[in-house]
Amino acid sequence: MNYFAEPRSFREVAQYLLQLWRTEGTLRFLRLALNLGRERSVAGEMWKYGVVTGWFSFAFVAYMLLTEGGAAFNTSSDGVNWGLAISTYVFLALISSGLTFIASLSMVFGFKEFYPIAKRCIWLAIITLGAGFTVLALELGHPFRMLWAMPAGMQYLSPMFWMGVFYLIDLILMLVKFYLLWQDDWDSPLSQTVGTASFVAVVLASGMLGLVFGSMVMRPMWYGSFTSVFFILTAALSGAAAIVLAVYMAYGFRQENMPEPLRSMAAGDALPKVFATLIGIALFSVLVRMWTGLWSNLDGLEGFHALARSPAFHVEVWAGLVLPFVLMLAPALQRQARWQITAAALVLVGMFIDRYQFLVSGQAVPMFKGAWASGLTAYTPSFTEWMMTAIGFAIVFACYGLGEKLFKLEATPPGAKAAPAGELTAAHR
């Protein structure tokens, strides 16, 4: 996947790029930069299409925000306040959290056979969280005010304040951890401490994100301590689906193109078992939440009845959870590449639908109902909101391609051997 030796510092990267520019000239250098090399590669395609899509989407969103401002969104102060952009942020932030959970299997809990995906998980966790922050910043309108508003205001009783604090700590720790892995420091006391601290931070961050919604008593569909637990559980599932799809994508969706440790892991049954377990837990959580909402006659839970009639909800449950669960349980299918890819893609689609419907359905019931407010509040995302979502995904694709090209994301600790296919082992230190 890499056509030159992996750089060990940003100085080496800068020196290489400067030398390449001097050797090739400006136009050829830009062409090489757009394709990430002279030869066509999967990483180069992800980078190229991610950059092009991102720039076009950002140009459109910037124009709409400068000319129309908040009117470019189909949200309103008396209806659905948080729309597609916020659900995209939640979707990407929880994928980031889940990827950190998956990386922790090897780096914190000592399951050695997950080492081949640990470095890739950390890199993906960084870029998905960064993409989520970007979408959130565009939706907020004045994100830089947080630089002085948060420390000056110190709303320490607000879950939203602590969500920002813990995700910032999580991002910093992930950057430090990735740098240590970049330097082949996997098992030093500092590396282990950073890994453990990152795991604790991401549990607090994703839980606090759930508490942002769970503490809103005026929104009964969100309210309750279960929301934080639900976010943590489904974050783990989202991370597992993301890493399965990302690994296959990096190698052209073919197991034979993978290095031996990754190929052994993909061909074993440990990863499908973990994946199936997470799908089953998420499916149970979704159904329990729906059952409780439909059974209760509490004012404000009418949105659950509308949700049960929604075709998108049934796509989420049957195609996004039930079908992948069956695929990963079936011994004849769970080790086959095409079904692993299918299951991962369906789960991510299902989780995207879940984040959107969770957010919108929770605001569908007007808070101050009267004769003038019958039924539920309607909401359809504007084209600008869809372009903001495109920006988030474009950032992920572009940065993943760049990371695949610059760093050995398949790297494992020096001297580490792949565990036999299907064997799940933990290292006890």
- Please write the tens of the pLDDT for every residue from 382-396: 999 999 999 999 999
pLDDT, average across residues 154-158: 85
Predicted pLDDT of residue 88: 98
Mean pLDDT to the nearest integer, 348-357: 98
Question: What one-character-per-residue DSSP string does 176-212 give?
Answer: HHHHHHHTT--SSHHHHHHHHHHHHHHHHHHHHHHHH
Q: For the residues 236-243, what does the mean pLDDT come to?
A: 98
Judge contact between 236 and 303, C-beta under 8 A. Answer: no
pLDDT of residue 322: 98
**Among 416, 418, 409, which Cα is nearest to 103's?**
409
Single out the residue of 310, 299, 296 nearest to residue 358, CA to CA: 310
Ordered structural domains, the chain, with CATH: 47-366+379-406 (1.20.1630.10)
The mean pLDDT of the chain is 90
- CA atoms within 13 A of residue 182's CA, in its CB half-sphere: 20
pLDDT at 145 over 90: no
- 226 contacts 289 by C-beta, under 8 angstroms: yes
Angle, helices 383-406/84-107, rounded to nearest 10 degrees: 20
Average of per-residue pLDDT across 271-285: 95
pLDDT at 427: 44
> Quick one: DSSP state of residue 320?
I
**Which of 200, 194, 215, 227 lies closest to 97 in space, CA to CA?**
200
Q: Are 347 and 17 in contact (CB under 8 A)?
A: no
For tokens 């193109």, name the residue.
Answer: 257
* Bridge partners (DSSP) listed for residue 111: 426
Task: Give Cβ neighbours of residue 80 (< 8 Å, ≥ 6 apart).
Answer: 74, 360, 363, 364, 377, 379
Give φ, ψ of 111 to 5 degrees.
Answer: -80, 100
Report, in this order, helix, strand and coil percent for the chain, each rounded to 5. Answer: 70, 0, 30
For residue 402, CA distances in Å to 9, 125, 231, 345, 405 come to 15, 14, 29, 22, 5
Give 50-90 pLDDT, tens digit per residue.
999 999 999 999 999 999 988 899 887 667 899 999 999 99
Express each pLDDT in 17-59 by its tens digit: 899 889 989 999 888 888 888 888 999 999 999 999 999 999 9
pLDDT at position 1: 42
Neighbours of 37 (CB within 10 A): 15
Q: Coil, strand or helix: which one is 48?
A: helix
For residue 417, what pLDDT is reported?
Answer: 57
Which band of pLDDT confidence, cut at 50, 70 and 90, is reported for residue 10? confident
Cβ atoms of 98 and 170 closer than 8 Å: no
Residue 44 neighbours by CB distance under 10 Å: 21
Helix (H, G, I), strand (E, B) or coil at 428: coil
- Flag whether pLDDT at 361 surpasses 90: yes
Cα–Cα dist 67/61, whole Å: 10
